[in-house]
């Protein structure tokens, strides 16, 4: 059945100049991949629902491609947040003839899958992967509608220097932690701050008293940590027991409910960043929440992003008037539209231009947004 | 100077925790010449059980003064049962096997316990309920908390208790006799199986206490926490002279202080060439150095090469 549709689509594309042929609309397949089982299943479903809302809305406008009526069909796959499964389902989607993909969620899945999409000239727009490496592999097919870790590091560094000029950094020696802190260091120096100490730990440590004491001697105004919540929570506790009243900041690895649970009262005042805007602040947030709520219920995190990823992809095809990869990729690169999440345009790597990063602060055991850096508000 | 004092305090606390875990390694090694790699996992069990029980008790409003001893009792009971069961099931059948067999088995037991804990408690981190009121004292520019003082006090207390147990009691005499020569001790009427089981029980009880203290101090517990801890404590036992009880204390304290000073000063001393991520290299370098000149450790007397 699907192969017949595919043939019909190809025939349709090939013969679109002949007006006599078209009785029914052509179908263009769009892939959508996210973890739909396992601990992140709720986030994956969020991505699927967001993309579905976008595709159905576009289909309802009776779009035409090269003068020919066209309908988009969403093919959904589960990558289980696993790099190996990600490549398997990527190949499956390619074999089924998708013309573009919304996905994946995890950087660890997006990166291996991106090679398969690139080899087959299928444009990929990730709604959630933030690792810098994803768009920096030299593939023309990789795009994302979320700020990357480099933009996040920049925002953290900028905000840190506003709290005080003397900044100390700690990273956990993982690709994520180290990459984030490298960007923070660069950004602190650019914003006129001084990096007074750089210490290291691992992603398995629980005792940070030695490195914190050594940082205490350097009298920093802010400590920025690149790593995950199981380290960030004991770290802020130990800072407080060492009598350090220094501000504590970190990236999205610690901007979690888990961090507050593990750090307890010590979490108060900690600052964590997360890519994107909080939904209340998104230009199309209120309307999207209403439309999404009527059909699917509560938004987790990623639905607005996957919605816009699907919009960006389908709009590029409609503007190109074709599903031919070269034309679609060229159109994608020139994307300039106002999505739910704000204005969307890509740089030459496929990264979101001026991707916004929001800083949150723990107040009464809850993360509360304090400021957004970059994006429409930053202008 | 206050920074140096603070680093010493940090090292002392970390060292006390290492020493308490190292005692378990050294006791078992002293009597069986077996490196019980599962000991770190027993500490983990102690932490997980005490945090879970404490969470439940605190949830139903049991006062701290009652909840803490109850959770400790639960942890001690579970750890002792596990320790004795591990000895009975995994080590006793291999007691006369070549030395490598029980060693590999110990590693296997460690993996089994880790995975069991993962199945029971899941992969997420457990948090220690916020029931302890942390007091911070200032002491010559270094800060000390009441939990840290408790850790040092408990380490000193268990140490003293253990020395009395080994040197002054009937069970202790039986332990020493079994350690010296199991067959002859048996001829003298010592039931070696019971003595060895008792050794595992005492070591596991100490592990439970250490587990509770570690969870209280760091505020978190995780199924994976025993592995690195066990490795460090084992190194501490070797540094002090494995099989020697005061040696475990000395080795633990030394390793803790070396690590703290190493992590604290290595970056400044080498002008940033080596960062604090080399703290373990520093600690293990000293360990190798000691072993080159004193192969049986700082306080180890007898060269452990029988069987």
Tokens of B117: 């804990």
- What per-residue confidence (pLDDT) applies to A61? 93
Q: Which stretch of DSSP H or E encloses residue B139? A: strand B136-139
Query: Do the beta carbons of residue A77 and residue A104 sit within 8 Å?
Result: no
- What per-residue confidence (pLDDT) applies to A13? 47
Cβ distance of A210 and B260 shorter than 8 Å: yes
- What per-residue confidence (pLDDT) applies to B50? 96
The three-class DSSP label of residue A127 is coil
Q: Does A245 touch chain B (CB under 8 A)?
A: no
Q: Which residues of B touch A201 (CB under 8 A)?
A: 276-277
- What per-residue confidence (pLDDT) applies to A349? 92
Which residues contact residue A261 at a Cβ distance below 8 angstroms, ignoring those fewer than 6 apart? B127
- Say what percent of chain A tops pLDDT 90: 70
Q: Does B118 touch chain A (CB under 8 A)?
A: no
Q: Does B11 touch chain A (CB under 8 A)?
A: yes
pLDDT, one tens digit per residue, over B188-241 is 999 999 999 999 999 999 999 999 999 999 999 999 899 889 999 999 999 999
Does residue A18 register a pLDDT over 60?
no
Cβ distance of B10 and A211 shorter than 8 Å: no
- What per-residue confidence (pLDDT) applies to B139? 78
Q: Does A267 touch chain B (CB under 8 A)?
A: no
- What per-residue confidence (pLDDT) applies to B262? 87
Report, as ranges of residue numbers, the positions in chain B whose pLDDT lies below 50: 303-307
- What per-residue confidence (pLDDT) applies to A24? 66
Interface pTM, i.e. ipTM: 0.88
Instruction: Please provide the size of chain A in residues.
Output: 379
Residue closest to A171 by CA, chosen among A203, A215, A207: A203
Q: Does B267 touch chain A (CB under 8 A)?
A: yes
Q: Dump strand ranges (E) for chain A.
A: 26-34, 64-65, 68-78, 100-102, 124-126, 142-144, 166-171, 194-200, 222-226, 247-250, 271-275, 337-339, 342-344, 357-363, 366-373
- What per-residue confidence (pLDDT) applies to B216? 92
Confidence of residue A174 (pLDDT cuts 50, 70, 90): confident
- What per-residue confidence (pLDDT) applies to A3? 52
Q: Give Rg (Cα) of chain A.
A: 22
- What per-residue confidence (pLDDT) applies to B301? 65
- What per-residue confidence (pLDDT) applies to B299? 87
Please say whether the dihedral angle defined by the alpha carbons of residues A279, A285, A286 and A290, taken in this order, is positive or negative.
Answer: negative
Cβ distance of A264 and B219 shorter than 8 Å: yes
Q: Which residues of B touch A210 (CB under 8 A)?
A: 7, 10-11, 259-264, 276, 279
Query: Do the beta carbons of residue B26 and residue B244 sit within 8 Å?
Result: yes
Max alpha carbon distance in chain A (Å)?
A: 81
Distances in whole angstroms, Cα of residue A115 to Cα of each of A119, A147, A205, A228, A289: 6, 21, 34, 28, 34
Distance CA A302, CA A66 (A): 32
Q: Dump strand ranges (E) for A236-299.
A: 247-250, 271-275
Residue closest to B133 by CA, chosen among B124, B119, B145: B145
Does residue A263 register a pLDDT over 70?
yes
* Average pLDDT of chain B, as a whole number: 90
């Amino acid at each position: 059945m699907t192969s017949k549709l595919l043939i019909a689509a190809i025939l349709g594309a090939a013969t679109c100049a002949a007006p006599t042929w078209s009785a029914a609309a052509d179908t263009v397949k769009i892939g959508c991949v996210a973890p739909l089982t396992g601990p992140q299943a709720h986030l994956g479903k969020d991505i699927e629902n967001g993309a579905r809302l976008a595709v159905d809305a576009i289909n309802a406008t009776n779009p035409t491609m090269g003068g020919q009526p066209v309908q988009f069909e969403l093919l959904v796959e589960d990558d289980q947040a696993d790099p190996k499964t990600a490549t398997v389902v990527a190949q499956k989607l390619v074999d089924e003839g998708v013309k573009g993909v919304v996905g994946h969620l995890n950087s660890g899945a997006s990166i291996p899958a991106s090679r398969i999409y690139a080899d087959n000239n299928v444009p990929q727009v990730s709604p959630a992967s933030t690792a810098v490496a994803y768009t920096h592999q030299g593939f023309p097919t990789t795009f994302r509608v979320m700020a990357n870790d480099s933009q996040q590091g920049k925002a953290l560094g900028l905000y840190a220097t506003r709290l005080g000029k003397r900044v100390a950094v700690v990273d956990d020696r993982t690709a994520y932690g180290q990459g984030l802190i490298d960007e923070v260091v660069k950004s602190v120096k650019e914003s006129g701050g001084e990096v007074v100490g750089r210490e290291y730990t691992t992603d398995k440590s629980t005792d940070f008293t030695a490195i914190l004491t050594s940082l205490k001697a350097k009298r920093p105004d802010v400590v920025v940590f690149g790593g995950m919540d199981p380290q960030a929570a004991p770290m802020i506790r130990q800072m407080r027991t060492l009598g350090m009243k220094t501000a504590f900041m970190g990236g999205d690895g610690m901007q979690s409910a888990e961090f507050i649970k593990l750090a307890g009262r010590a979490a108060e005042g900690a600052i964590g960043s997360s890519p994107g805007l909080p939904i209340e602040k998104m230009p199309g947030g209120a309307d999207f929440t209403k439309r999404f709520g009527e059909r699917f219920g509560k938004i987790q995190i990623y639905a607005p992003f996957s919605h816009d990823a699907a919009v960006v992809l389908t709009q590029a095809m409609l503007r190109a008037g074709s599903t031919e990869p070269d034309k679609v990729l060229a159109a994608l690169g020139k994307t300039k539209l106002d999505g739910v999440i704000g204005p969307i345009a890509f740089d030459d790597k496929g990264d979101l231009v001026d991707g916004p990063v929001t800083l949150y602060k723990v107040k009464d055991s809850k993360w509360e947004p304090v400021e957004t850096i970059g994006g429409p508000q930053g202008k | 100077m206050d920074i140096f004092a603070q680093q010493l305090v940090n090292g002392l606390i970390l060292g006390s925790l290492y020493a308490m875990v190292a005692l378990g390694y050294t006791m078992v090694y002293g009597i069986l010449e077996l490196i019980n790699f599962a000991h770190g996992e027993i500490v983990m069990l102690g932490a997980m059980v005490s945090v879970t029980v404490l969470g439940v008790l605190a949830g139903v409003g049991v006062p701290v003064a009652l909840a803490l001893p109850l959770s400790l009792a639960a942890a001690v009971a579970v750890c002792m049962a596990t320790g004795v069961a591990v000895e009975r099931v995994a080590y006793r059948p291999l007691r006369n096997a070549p030395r490598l067999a029980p060693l590999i088995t110990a590693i296997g037991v460690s993996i089994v316990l880790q995975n069991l804990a993962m199945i029971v408690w899941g992969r997420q981190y457990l948090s220690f309920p916020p029931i302890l009121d942390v007091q911070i004292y200032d002491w010559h520019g270094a800060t000390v908390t009441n939990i840290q003082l408790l850790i040092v006090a408990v380490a000193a207390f268990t140490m003293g208790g253990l020395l009395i147990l080994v040197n002054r009691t009937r069970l202790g005499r039986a332990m020493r006799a079994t350690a010296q020569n199991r067959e002859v001790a048996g001829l003298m009427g010592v039931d070696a199986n019971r003595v060895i089981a008792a050794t595992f029980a005492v070591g596991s009880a100490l592990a439970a206490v250490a587990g509770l203290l570690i969870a209280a101090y760091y505020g978190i517990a995780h199924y994976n926490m025993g592995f690195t801890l066990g490795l460090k404590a084992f190194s501490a036992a070797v540094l002090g002279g494995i099989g020697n009880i005061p040696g475990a204390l000395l080795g633990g304290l030394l390793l803790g202080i070396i690590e703290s000073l190493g992590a604290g000063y290595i970056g400044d001393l080498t002008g940033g060439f080596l960062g604090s991520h080399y703290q373990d290299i520093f600690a293990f370098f000293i360990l190798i150095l000691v072993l080159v000149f004193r192969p049986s450790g700082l306080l180890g007397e007898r060269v452990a090469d029988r069987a």
